Structure 1
Amino acid sequence: MKKILILILFAMAVASFFYFDLGSQLTLANLKEQQAAFDEQYRAAPFLIIAIFFLVYVVTTAASLPGALILTLAAGALFGVVVGTIIVSFASSIGATIAFLSSRYLFRDAVKTRFGDRLKAIDRGVEKDGPFYLLTLRLVPVFPFFLINLLMGLTAIKARTFYIVSQIGMLLGTLVYVNAGTQLANIDEVSDIGSPGLLLSFAALGVTPWIGKWIVARIKRRKVYAGYSKPKKYDRNLVVIGAGAAGLVSSYIAATVKAKVTLVEAGEMGGDCLNYGCVPSKALIKSAKVAQQMRQADAYGLQKTDPQYSFKAVMQRIHNVIADIAPHDSVERYTDLGVDVVKGYAKIIDPWTVEIKRNDGETQRLTTRSIIVATGGAPFVPPLPGLDAVGYVTSDTLWEEFAKLDDIPKRMIILGGGPIGCELSQAFARLGAEVTQVEREDRLLGREDEDVSALAQAAQEGSGVIVRTGHDAVRCEVVDGEKRLIVSADGKEQAIAFDALVIAVGRSARLSGFGLEELGIETGRTIVTDDLLATSYPNIFAAGDVAGPYQFTHVASHQAWYASVNALFGKFKTFKADYRVIPWTTFIDPEIARVGLNEQEAKEQDIAHEVTTYQMHELDRAIAESATQGFVKVLTPPGKDRILGVTIVGDHAGELLAEYVLAMKYKLGLNKILGTIHTYPTMAEANKYAAGEWKRAHAPEGLLRWVERYHSWMRG
């Protein structure tokens, strides 16, 4: 009601302005006619006239009414340059700030509700460079100031910042027009003041902040490199440290564009994903799924059986899979592509020098124009008392350690309720281990919606996993030769016995030993980079898990393009890393795949949304395959088919998600998906039917009633 009242008052003020033709008073001719009378009144009561004039100027500016330019000239004619400039400078800034605050109060919530995701991106830019851009606009009077006031009110820039920058930015323009007002008798048209030459000068002035920003950047750059001697010639265009996904793609791109590139890797080519993560875990999951299908064969009309298998053979198959894929990431392949691959440990000595302690015992130094740090991540091991005494494996080390075993550990604890913990827990349980999954939070997969977490827990328990959420690991101990994990829940401690403890509570970036500390490169949980993926040294970049914010192989590859292109061609063109459409999948059974927002995030970010859900148990192919668990959930803005985010739970959810990733990337809505032919019967039809559910919910009921009447009329 307050907002409505303010809008009514504002509308009445604008209507009164035009109804009483107040604009006719704010003309150059009227100002010249009334100048003598103004002068006389000012001499009689200077403070009163200043107060009245100040108030009129503030109201005019705050209400975004025309006439501010004439009032500025009047200030010069009536008060002179010094007093007139002071009055107009403060009155215009105060009025602009009132307009700014009014716009924020009246419209920001509505705009945020309708365009929340876009506004959030704008707010991030304003938070970083808002004062800079506002100053540029204020220095160029070509831009309507009233429009700047209203639009800036929709952003998150602070009111104090807006006022200060406005006061500074408008000062020179104010001075020019106030000074012109002192020569009022010589002005016949406003265009005499706002000549093309003057406006061009203001436009040139608007470039000043950009020049200043460039100068500051140059100064910072010189300061960063102070104390280092830049080589006159370089051995390489690019040195890449780490041969995981980010490092491989970076060096591949560099070689493709004929740059001289060296890729340094101390361990196995392919990094964590090939050797310890994505590939071995998916091989394990497949074996476990086959075992589960054998137990549930009666669901398909077959004789069910308890699978008999060799755990050593299962682990050997995993290593065979790694070996089959390894040639794709091998030294030989990348050497053939034109990459100089060096096996050894790399350390950045200075911004242009990398020292490599080669595995063959030699030490090599290379100078390079640019460096990409792609050292990946490692499992985080919590500081649990007694952990070393009981022994443990991580999601990295279990593949080698378990390969030594003849049989699967009978009792296993998986510590962690995230994607890795869930995948390993379900797989080992399906292979016959007694698995207890411990998670300190109150549900599994805490980043997902609650209904997704509930379905994931049901899937885990259905596979035989004992799920203990809300349980905090306290310590480890050995009692009478038995290993135990002590957990706490609701203030009570309890012991869980185990034969093998798997730590899967997350991963941390590899930051030590590469020279980052010595160079003073800022790090937190990851290496701190800008939008270009550059560190505090503009020629040193980071990509992959070591850079964050996501720890996915496909994101590492995605970042590698930006890092390598910016490193090689940044002098001509740079590209900001784009994280707007990032998909991911948790490979439990049924799979959980997501891109964009889910309900939980949309509510946290106060983004208006609708939810459309299609249940897999309604899909013909899912019914035929007895794979009816799950759903497709799509978030859209109210009344629009634009896709804000999608969560899919079900068989092959990771593959089904690709259609939505493409749609979001290229701004295709649900209507486009609905209008696309999908093969029958396939799981992919779930995407089309989800779009159909949205369409049915937004059917034009009014029009359909008229259509119904038409058909009735046609029947006679």
Structure 2
Amino acid sequence: MKKIMVISVITLLVILIYAFDIQAYLSVDGLKHSVSQLEMWRVERPLLVGALFFSLYILIALLSLPGAAVMTIGAGALFGLLWGSIIASFASSIGATLAFLLSRYLLRDVVQNRFDKQLTAINAGMAKDGLLYLFALRLVPIFPFFLINLLMGLTTIRTRDYYWVSQLGMLAGTLVYVNAGTQLIRLTSLSEIMSPALLASFALLGVFPMMAKYVVKYLERRRVYARWSEPEKFDRNLIVIGGGAAGLVTSYIAAAVKAKVTLVEAHKMGGDCLNYGCVPSKAIIKSARLAHTIRHGEHYGLENLTPTFSFRNVMARVHEVIRHVAPHDSIERYTRLGVEVLEGYATIIDPWTVEIKLNNGGTQRLTTRSIVIATGARPVVPPLPGLEEVGYLTSDTMWRELAKLDAPPARLVILGGGPIGCELSQSFARLGSQVTQVEMASRIMIREDEDVSALARDALTRDGVLVLTEHKALRCEKEGERKFIVLEHKNIELRIEFDVLLCAVGRAARLSGYGLEALGIETQRTVITNDYLETLYPNIFAAGDVAGPYQFTHTAGHQAWYAAVNALFGDFKRFKVDYSVVPWATFIDPEVARVGLNEQDAREKGIPYEITRFGLADLDRAIADGTTHGFIKVLTVPGKDRILGVTIVGEHAADLLAEFVLAMKHRLGLNQILGTIHTYPTLSEANKYVAGEWKRQHAPQRILNWLARYHSWKRGA
């Protein structure tokens, strides 16, 4: 009842304001027409007029009526710069605080209870940086202040803090508007429009948001760096920690623009991709695929043969591929490019100082303008009882350890149904291992659509992989030399013997040992950054796997450009990282490649879509190559050819995807793809055919019916 009464009173006040046509005065024209009369009243009864103006301003702010800016201008016109600023400043702050309290009284409990989980992060952020955020909003007069009052009332910010921050934050903008009012209202002729005082007022109104932006940035920087002393000069422009994809590209760009840059790498240049991930896995996938082709020669009119090979030679080739690619990422190459490369472990001492414990002994300290953290990620090892006793491999250790074997593992268990687990499961099955793949979720490749997961599972099963979904690993056991893993499925335990256990359940960012904790740089699963890849400190950035949100080599390189440019030139212009078009692929056979939304993403986000699908069984080149398993699935805006996302399953899917990535990046639709000549016979024609399928589904039937009649008439029928 109390809330109903409050709402009733507010409604009545609004009705009265409009009934007495008070809103007519809340415009510059209305104020100009009445300013002479108002000035006469002010001269006769200054205190009364001042009190009424003050009260009306508070009421307008409280009720969130349009006209607060006009009232501020009017304060300048009626009371001059000094008293007008005092009246407008206090009236606006009091009114805003009352509106804030009103929102809190009527809405906060309902909203907090209804959206408790969603607001947890917001409440935590407000508790940490709410006052600075409020101050930043108050500095920009063009931002709708009634929205600030309404939304801030839903948070946990204290009333007294809200008042004084609002008072302080709105003061500068109030002065600008009051000053404009002292000039604008007093025009008597058009020639006075060019007066210096009025031009200065308009100039202040234009540049104030920009000035406010720099003020906020300065205050935030001062708060963040308060406990540190900045060096007077710096040894380097940029120090990059980590020699993987992100670190290499960042340092390369810095050297290219003639910055003095140091790259610190503790272990192997090239990072995970070169040494443990992309390069070795693709090498063994190729060998396994060739073995598979030999084994199924009849598919191409040849004889089925059992491939004979030395597993040691296969693994030797993997390491030879790594050695062949390694010079691209080597210390020698980057030194020639102008990058100083130091081998050692880096620790950030303060926002401008990095200490490097060199691998060859000794310690070096360097000061730098900016730092980029590109420390990558490491394999996650599940906390299974008995795991250490039975022994296990990860993607970081498997290439070294398996190279010691004369034959592939006879019985291989792979934990994980993601891309890494699927690629290695299929490869080792094709090389002769008895592979059991264990996934706790309901299906493998859980980030893909269900039809994609099903096709991937069928492909792995055909190659001999025993895929166990909805199986939870409980523990490992050892009996003499025999090793077992115990799984649970629907409350039933299953015991599987193995020779080698490979953990492929994901990768976690490397966060420890770099001094992040001492500096207060926030980390969760990754280093927390803003849209510019800045951490808590605007001169310390993070890029690659350690920053997320994707763990792909190509996104690490993509982020590296933003990290380098923002670190070196952020004082002039900063760039937000663009994640709008991110492709990725899983290199099983058939390959799975995707960019943008798939069906399950679109459903979760509530985005309407249409599906166009083309099966590779109808593609001439796929038929000739015997690679008809797969399809292209395109999601588009309903009724339009704008691409929301593409999933391709098939031979060379990752290569075929590039055309759609380009189209999405540059906002080209399916009509443009359809109108592009594609070489015959190639797999790339599938892209054109799926565009043609979309066109057929959206053919203008009414026009086609009229055309049929026209042609019939032309035949004389």
Q: TM-score range by the shorter chain?
A: 0.7 to 0.9
Residue of structure 1 in register with 2:551 after alignment: 551
Residue of structure 2 in register with 1:504 after alignment: 504
After superposition, the Cα gap between the structure-2 partners of 1:626 and 1:133, relative to the gap in structure 1 and judged at 3 Å, is farther
- SS state of the match for residue 572, structure 1? coil
Q: How many residues align?
A: 653
Q: Is the 8 A contact 1:135 1:209 kept in 2?
A: no
Between the aligned partners of 2:680 and 2:674, the Cα distance in structure 1 is: 14
Pairing 1:218–2:221 present:
yes
- SS state of the match for residue 502, structure 1? strand
> What are the Cα deviations for residues 439-468 of structure 1, in whole angstroms up to 9, with x where unaligned?
111111111111111111111111111011
Q: Is the 8 A contact 2:542 2:563 kept in 1?
A: yes
Pairing 1:351–2:365 present:
no
Between the aligned partners of 1:683 and 1:129, the Cα distance in structure 2 is: 55
Pairing 1:710–2:710 present:
yes
- SS state of the match for residue 577, structure 2? coil
Residue of structure 1 in register with 2:257 after alignment: 257
After superposition, the Cα gap between the structure-2 partners of 1:34 and 1:518, relative to the gap in structure 1 and judged at 3 Å, is closer
Between the aligned partners of 1:551 and 1:574, the Cα distance in structure 2 is: 24
Q: Cα offset for 1:201?
A: 4.8
The 5-angstrom pairing of residues 70-149 of structure 1 reads 135=138, 138=141
- SS state of the match for residue 680, structure 2? coil
Q: Is the 8 A contact 1:23 1:67 kept in 2?
A: no
Q: Cα offset for 1:605?
A: 1.0
After superposition, the Cα gap between the structure-2 partners of 1:611 and 1:157, relative to the gap in structure 1 and judged at 3 Å, is farther
Q: Cα offset for 1:640?
A: 1.8
Residue of structure 2 in register with 1:399 after alignment: 399
- SS state of the match for residue 535, structure 2? coil
Residue of structure 1 in register with 2:108 after alignment: none
After superposition, the Cα gap between the structure-2 partners of 1:473 and 1:206, relative to the gap in structure 1 and judged at 3 Å, is same
Q: Is the 8 A contact 1:89 1:171 kept in 2?
A: no
Residue of structure 2 in register with 1:700 after alignment: 700
Pairing 1:230–2:236 present:
no
Q: Which amino acid aligns with 2:653?
A: A
Q: Is the 8 A contact 2:351 2:539 kept in 1?
A: yes
Q: Cα offset for 1:71?
A: 14
Q: Cα offset for 1:132?
A: 7.0
Between the aligned partners of 2:188 and 2:101, the Cα distance in structure 1 is: 32
Q: Which amino acid aligns with 1:232?
A: K
Between the aligned partners of 1:224 and 1:578, the Cα distance in structure 2 is: 33
Residue of structure 2 in register with 1:627 after alignment: 627
Residue of structure 2 in register with 1:320 after alignment: 320
The 5-angstrom pairing of residues 426-437 of structure 1 reads 426-437=426-437
Between the aligned partners of 1:71 and 1:405, the Cα distance in structure 2 is: 82
Q: Is the 8 A contact 1:73 1:177 kept in 2?
A: no
Between the aligned partners of 1:574 and 1:70, the Cα distance in structure 2 is: 37
Between the aligned partners of 2:533 and 2:25, the Cα distance in structure 1 is: 57
Q: Which amino acid aligns with 2:565?
A: V
Q: Which amino acid aligns with 2:233?
A: K
The 5-angstrom pairing of residues 231-250 of structure 1 reads 231-234=232-235, 236-250=236-250
After superposition, the Cα gap between the structure-2 partners of 1:638 and 1:59, relative to the gap in structure 1 and judged at 3 Å, is farther
- SS state of the match for residue 335, structure 1? helix
Q: Which amino acid aligns with 1:606?
A: G
Give the share of equivalent positions with the same residue, in percent: 56
Pairing 1:422–2:422 present:
yes
Between the aligned partners of 2:403 and 2:667, the Cα distance in structure 1 is: 47
Q: Cα offset for 1:535?
A: 2.3
Between the aligned partners of 1:612 and 1:532, the Cα distance in structure 2 is: 36
Between the aligned partners of 1:329 and 1:393, the Cα distance in structure 2 is: 26
Residue of structure 1 in register with 2:112 after alignment: none
Q: Cα offset for 1:94?
A: 11
After superposition, the Cα gap between the structure-2 partners of 1:709 and 1:506, relative to the gap in structure 1 and judged at 3 Å, is same
After superposition, the Cα gap between the structure-2 partners of 1:389 and 1:128, relative to the gap in structure 1 and judged at 3 Å, is farther
> What are the Cα deviations for residues 171-228 of structure 1, in whole angstroms up to 9, with x where unaligned?
999999999999xx99999999x976655554455456324313312312431525xx
TM-score using structure 2 length? 0.78
After superposition, the Cα gap between the structure-2 partners of 1:130 and 1:658, relative to the gap in structure 1 and judged at 3 Å, is farther
- SS state of the match for residue 643, structure 2? coil
Between the aligned partners of 1:129 and 1:712, the Cα distance in structure 2 is: 74
Q: Which amino acid aligns with 1:506?
A: G
User: What stretches of structure 2 of length at least 5 have no aligned partner?
Assistant: 1-17, 42-51, 103-129
RMSD: 4.7
Between the aligned partners of 1:170 and 1:265, the Cα distance in structure 2 is: 49
After superposition, the Cα gap between the structure-2 partners of 1:286 and 1:83, relative to the gap in structure 1 and judged at 3 Å, is closer
Residue of structure 1 in register with 2:120 after alignment: none
After superposition, the Cα gap between the structure-2 partners of 1:606 and 1:59, relative to the gap in structure 1 and judged at 3 Å, is same
> What are the Cα deviations for residues 502-532 of structure 1, in whole angstroms up to 9, with x where unaligned?
0000011122222323333322212222222
Residue of structure 1 in register with 2:48 after alignment: none
Q: Cα offset for 1:58?
A: 11
Q: Which amino acid aligns with 2:420?
A: I
Between the aligned partners of 2:200 and 2:71, the Cα distance in structure 1 is: 20
Between the aligned partners of 2:209 and 2:577, the Cα distance in structure 1 is: 28
After superposition, the Cα gap between the structure-2 partners of 1:315 and 1:187, relative to the gap in structure 1 and judged at 3 Å, is closer
- SS state of the match for residue 309, structure 2? coil
Q: Which amino acid aligns with 2:223?
A: K
Q: Which amino acid aligns with 1:578?
A: D
Residue of structure 1 in register with 2:121 after alignment: none
TM-score using structure 1 length? 0.78
Residue of structure 2 in register with 1:656 after alignment: 656
After superposition, the Cα gap between the structure-2 partners of 1:366 and 1:433, relative to the gap in structure 1 and judged at 3 Å, is same
Between the aligned partners of 1:254 and 1:405, the Cα distance in structure 2 is: 43
After superposition, the Cα gap between the structure-2 partners of 1:665 and 1:204, relative to the gap in structure 1 and judged at 3 Å, is closer
Q: Cα offset for 1:59?
A: 14
Residue of structure 1 in register with 2:284 after alignment: 284
Q: Which amino acid aligns with 1:683?
A: L
Q: Cα offset for 1:28?
A: 7.2
Q: Is the 8 A contact 2:532 2:566 kept in 1?
A: yes
Residue of structure 2 in register with 1:679 after alignment: 679
Q: Is the 8 A contact 2:139 2:172 kept in 1?
A: no
Q: Which moved more, 1:401-410 or 1:250-259?
A: 250-259
Residue of structure 1 in register with 2:8 after alignment: none
Q: Which amino acid aligns with 1:558?
A: H
Residue of structure 1 in register with 2:212 after alignment: 209
Between the aligned partners of 1:599 and 1:284, the Cα distance in structure 2 is: 32
Between the aligned partners of 2:354 and 2:98, the Cα distance in structure 1 is: 56
- SS state of the match for residue 226, structure 2? helix
After superposition, the Cα gap between the structure-2 partners of 1:92 and 1:243, relative to the gap in structure 1 and judged at 3 Å, is closer
Between the aligned partners of 1:24 and 1:369, the Cα distance in structure 2 is: 54
Residue of structure 1 in register with 2:364 after alignment: 364
After superposition, the Cα gap between the structure-2 partners of 1:681 and 1:128, relative to the gap in structure 1 and judged at 3 Å, is farther
Residue of structure 2 in register with 1:11 after alignment: none
Q: Which amino acid aligns with 2:608?
A: A
Q: Is the 8 A contact 2:597 2:646 kept in 1?
A: yes
